[in-house]
Amino acid sequence: MAVTATTIPEYDDQQPESSIPESQVLIIMTGGTICMQRSPSGFIPARGFQESCLARVPTFNDGSHPRPVDVVINEAGDRKSYQSLRTPPSSYGRQVRYTVFEFEELLDSSSIDAKGWAEIARTIYRNYTLFDAFVVLHGTDSLAYTCSALSFMLQNLGKPVILTGSQAPMLELQNDAADNLLGSLVVAGHFMIPEVCLYFNYKLFRGNRATKVAASDFAAFDSPNAPPLAITNSMRTHVAWDLVNRPTNIEHFSIQTNLDTTHVACLRIFPGIKPEMLEAVLKLEGLKGLVLETFGAGNAPGGQDNAMTKVLADAIKRGIVIVNITQCLTGSVSPVYAPGMSLTKAGVVAGLDMTTEAALTKLSYLLALPDATPESVAKNMSISLRGELTETSHPVFRHPEGGLPERAKILTALGYAIAQGDLERVKDILRGEHEWLLNEADYSGNTPLHLAATSPSISILRYFLLQGASVHIRNRAGRTPLFLAASAGLSDHVLLLRKSGAHLHSDEQAVAELYAKQRPGVWGLAGVGSKAIKDVEEEGGKRYSNGSVGNGNGVVGSASS
Ligand code: ASN
């Protein structure tokens, strides 16, 4: 899709670049009320959001005229230079630099479909290594569907993707647009939450748990079966790190774009529904999956001679996957009542506590996977792929607030164990309640993964990656773990990090190129010069036949939640 560039303010090369640490965020504008303006036919999306809505607002523009940023604008990999803006420093001592990339066609979100989701996914994929995080501006009407769809389409996501919108346009006097966008930018630019999230009315929800609950209230979204991942108040943003989902595979970020929404349907059971009605839907040509919204804990009317159950069982025998989710706002389907049990016996899959949006988009995603069979789709519908459902309920440990000295002590002990290459001791320290340590940074902003990047034991590095440690967090000097491993000349460490999706940050490139003159080998593996990621993968594949790495969580730079 083509794009339009914004023009204000001009880059001023006489001004020094800011010395305050900053994160770079790409804002992707798809449309929605947030950018709308009045017209004779009602509110319609308007172009030029950065220029008309952000450049003139001090909280979105510190007036420093930063240099433009490159955005990859198409499948061919063409780059275009965009004016960027910088927020004033946050209370965490960081600035967020961003630019707005507008889709050619801006939509009211009621018109978005799988093609639009694919365009968002592709834009993120093309620009993944150029930015620290992504904010997607979108209408609220179908926002929960887009969040859910993207959460599945973005595979092994290692960076924050935050969707937001507003109930009132940014250019209206009383609006929620400014706070929703600023909150999203701050979260994206400060906290390494590697999930597709929805930020609205000061709350950050897991995208595939969110649902629109109000047509005009500012509190338009909720995630009834999962607490918010973060809440912003007047002091700061509190991140519930123990709830954050992290990929734990040794895999690069990838996307799956061809969701099969044309072969799925959703039907809400109601008292008195005739089995023939259900049968008519299930006999639709090409139908492969149905989300059935049932009563309470998953019950549907049995009908005379269990006619309804028979219709369902016949469809399942024909290879249609039927997923049972509850019409209730909270809770899960479970076969405790006889009607629910008969659905299970007929082969209906329990969608547990998924939202309709998550169930429908997950079904579309799974049906489109290569080699998908009704059995594999049915099996995966009951398994949590991206935190979209609760498989079993187990108590979650929360570390008490305010224990900084204790935290520092544990982190120091961990640091020593890493430096000594003592994997067993590392495991002991991390075991159970100390998982929060993966997010922690020491006084110089080094996370455990930074320390492990130069540890004598590569097993510690692999262990952290498998626990979901983020490869993208930078220390106070702006360095990634990959940079440290390459500086130390540790080729195996570099390869393992690269295999997990690590790349040099654009701010590190110039220095890395200088170092590469002395040590072309290891810096080549780290991504300097002609060494393409593919070559490194192949080399890495020879050394590491299997395994998985997360590129998980933590705080961007050295801010803490
Ligand atoms: N109709 C608008 C949309 O979804 C609603 C909004 O954004 N508040 O695009």
The protein residue with its alpha carbon nearest to ligand 1, atom 3, reads: 139
Q: Tell me what pLDDT residue 12 has.
A: 60
- Domain covering 22-244 in this structure, CATH number: 3.40.50.1170
Query: What phi and psi values does residue 222 have, to the nearest 5 degrees?
Result: -150, 165
CB 49 within 8 A of CB 170: yes
Establish whether 7 is a catalytic residue.
Answer: no
- Mutate-to-test residue for ligand 1 from 30, 33, 43, highest number of ligand atoms within 8 A of CB: 33
Residue indicated by tokens 């914004």: 6
Question: Distance (Å, rounded) from C-alpha 42 to C-alpha 37?
Answer: 8
Sign of the four-CA dihedral 533, 534, 540, 541 = positive
Catalytic: which of 6, 30, 33, 164?
A: 33
Q: Tell me what pLDDT residue 398 has.
A: 44
CB 9 within 8 A of CB 52: no
* Better-scored residue on pLDDT, 129 or 18: 129
pLDDT in tens, 71-93: 999 999 999 999 999 999 999 99
CB 452 within 8 A of CB 460: yes
Task: Name the E strands within 6-132.
Answer: 22-31, 36-37, 44-45, 69-72, 79-82, 85-86, 95-107
Query: What phi and psi values does residue 365 have, to the nearest 5 degrees?
Result: -65, -50
The protein residue with its alpha carbon nearest to ligand 1, atom 7, reads: 139
Amino acid occupying residue 255: I
pLDDT in tens, 461-492: 999 999 889 999 999 889 999 999 999 999 99
Atom of ligand 1 minimally distant from the CA of 31: 9
Q: Tell me what pLDDT residue 409 has.
A: 82
Question: Distance (Å, rounded) from C-alpha 527 to C-alpha 486?
Answer: 10
C-alpha 37 to ligand 1 mean position (Å): 12
Q: Tell me what pLDDT residue 474 has.
A: 92
Q: Tell me what pLDDT residue 441 has.
A: 86
Pocket of ligand 1 (CB under 6 A): 32-33, 108-110, 139-141, 165, 167
Q: Does domain 261-381 have CATH number 3.40.50.40?
A: yes
pLDDT in tens, 315-354: 999 999 999 999 999 999 886 666 777 888 889 999 999 9
- Mutate-to-test residue for ligand 1 from 34, 141, 147, 181, highest number of ligand atoms within 8 A of CB: 141
What average pLDDT does this structure show over 390-406? 54
Torsion of CA 515, 517, 522, 524, to 10 degrees: 110
Question: Hey, what are 108's tokens?
Answer: 């009211």
Question: Distance (Å, rounded) from C-alpha 318 to C-alpha 473?
Answer: 49
C-alpha 168 to ligand 1 mean position (Å): 9
Atom of ligand 1 minimally distant from the CA of 167: 8
Portions of the chain given CATH number 3.40.50.1170: 22-244
- Mutate-to-test residue for ligand 1 from 108, 142, 171, 218, highest number of ligand atoms within 8 A of CB: 108
The helix/strand/coil state of 163 is strand
C-alpha 140 to ligand 1 mean position (Å): 4
Question: Which residues partner with 137 through β-bridges?
Answer: 29, 164
pTM (2 d.p.) = 0.83
Q: Please tell me which of 148-162, 305-319, 323-337 the model is most confident about, judged by mean pLDDT.
A: 148-162
Domain covering 404-543: architecture: Alpha Horseshoe (1.25)
C-alpha 152 to ligand 1 mean position (Å): 23
C-alpha 208 to ligand 1 mean position (Å): 18
User: How much of the chain, in percent, has pLDDT values that exceed 70?
Assistant: 86
Portions of the chain given CATH number 1.25.40.20: 404-543
Portions of the chain given CATH number 3.40.50.40: 261-381
Atom of ligand 1 minimally distant from the CA of 220: 8
Atom of ligand 1 minimally distant from the CA of 141: 4
Q: Tell me what pLDDT residue 435 has.
A: 64
CB 295 within 8 A of CB 267: no
C-alpha 20 to ligand 1 mean position (Å): 36
Atom of ligand 1 minimally distant from the CA of 32: 9
Residue 93's CB is within 10 A of a number of other CB atoms, namely 13
CB 109 within 8 A of CB 14: no
